[in-house]
Structure formats: structure tokens, C-alpha cells
Chains A and B, each alone.
Chain A
Amino acid sequence: QQPVQSPQAVILREGEDAVINCSSSKALYSVHWYRQKHGEAPVFLMILLKGGEQKGHDKISASFNEKKQQSSLYLTASQLSYSGTYFCGSEGAGGTSYGKLTFGQGTILTVHP
């Protein structure tokens, strides 16, 4: 089963913050976050392993709650370049699910000046 993302779309003004959520019904080994701009391939942002760690990259950070099988992506002080579709990818924790990477339906983020 693919992970479920919310919200489906977010509209921001430059400098505002946003949170994108990702949840799974299955036990997860890792969560991956990607951003895709129109007509381009998805680009890796960060990966989180089970253990509840939080990672950050510039003004974009993420958390992973293993028990709840949820991850959140935090975008602070948004910039125009943050616009795009954000996908979370989940990697299962056991059996053939380990190594299998499935993606959510995406969250469209639009940042206006």
C-alpha cells in the first residue's frame, strides 16, 4: 500500500511556513522525501530511518515517528524555489517489503511572491 499524504495542495507567500504529512498503514523502515518540478524527475531531499530522528537541510527539515508510522516535512521561511510537488516514499520494514519503495500521491506546493 502506498503512503497517504496531506494536504493535497498548499499555497504560500514567500517567507511563510508549511508542513506536509505522510502516513503509512504498514511498519516502515525508512521514509524518503522528494521534490518534483514540472517536467522534471523527482529530486531527493532527505531520508529518515526508523528511530524517530529528525533531519534538516537548510530551511527544510523532517521528522519520522516510527510508532505512528508517520513522517512530516517542515518547510520554513519558504522561497519561490520551493514550489513543486513533494512526494514521500516509504520503505517497508520486513520481508519483500524491505527494499521496496512506494510513493504517496504528492502534495503540490505553490509559493507566491
Chain B
Amino acid sequence: DTGVSQNPRHKITKRGQNVTFRCDPISEHNRLYWYRQTLGQGPEFLTYFQNEAQLEKSRLLSDRFSAERPKGSFSTLEIQRTEQGDSAMYLCASRTTGSGTEAFFGQGTRLTVV
């Protein structure tokens, strides 16, 4: 068990560029979550998967954001045509299915759009 791994840890991009982040969950965890966190705020729910199925996507999320989890293992979060307002920490978490299971967070990817 090596924990939840996120790559890259930091990303600086120019406005208008596309970026993609990767999350490798703990191997036996079939639920995977993406959150966005800005300074002084709680993790804002973006989307979550159970195995390869994307069960819900935040209605606050624009169409520029898309996430995939092929084969129910790692997941990617892509942001197209980045804007300065997308600058934030993007956190991934995973957990097993079942009652009362804790979520484990990765270290996050810090995105800066310049």
C-alpha cells in the first residue's frame, strides 16, 4: 500500500492551454474522487467514480473539465482552455465500497494558470 499518488505535484500553464492530471488510487479502492481546493476553503467536490463508472459530476463544473477512469484503475482529470480562475489545488481521494470506509487523499496537484 503506497497510498494515493498524484502527478504532477505542480503545474504552471499559460491561460488557454490544456492540462491533464493523473491520480493512482490505492490498489483495492474502487471509489475515486476528485476535488478542487482554493486557499482557505474546503475541498470542493468535482466528480467521483465507482470502478470505471463516473457516478456524478458537479453541476458547478464547466464543460472544460472532464475526468476518466479507464479500467477502473488510475484516473485522469483534464482541463481544457485553462483560465486564471482554475488556479487551485486539485486533490484526489480513494476508498473502498462499503459502509463506514475512510477516504485517503493524495498530496494533490497545484495548478497555477498565468
Contacts and interface: CB of A to CB of B under 8 A. Distances in A.
Contacts, number: 60
For the complex of A and B, list the 5 residue pairs with the smallest distance between their C-beta atoms, beginning with the closest.
Answer: A41-B105, A103-B42, A44-B102, A105-B42, A106-B42
Contacts of B35: 103
29 contacts: A5-B42, A29-B99, A30-B99, A40-B107, A41-B107, A41-B108, A42-B43, A43-B105, A44-B102, A47-B100, A47-B101, A49-B99, A49-B100, A96-B55, A96-B56, A99-B31, A99-B48, A99-B50, A99-B97, A100-B45, A100-B48, A100-B55, A101-B45, A102-B45, A103-B42, A103-B44, A103-B45, A104-B42, A105-B41
B105 A42 contact: yes
B25 interface: no
Interface in B43-74: 43-45, 48, 50, 55-56
Contacts of B97: 99
Given A29-B99, A41-B108, A101-B33, 8 more contacts: A30-B100, A47-B101, A87-B43, A99-B50, A100-B45, A100-B56, A104-B42, A106-B41
Question: Which size class do B's interface residues fall under?
Answer: 20 to 34
Interface of B: 31, 33, 35, 40-45, 48, 50, 55-56, 91, 93, 95, 97, 99-108
Interface of A: 2, 5, 29-30, 32, 34, 40-44, 47, 49, 87, 89, 96, 99-106
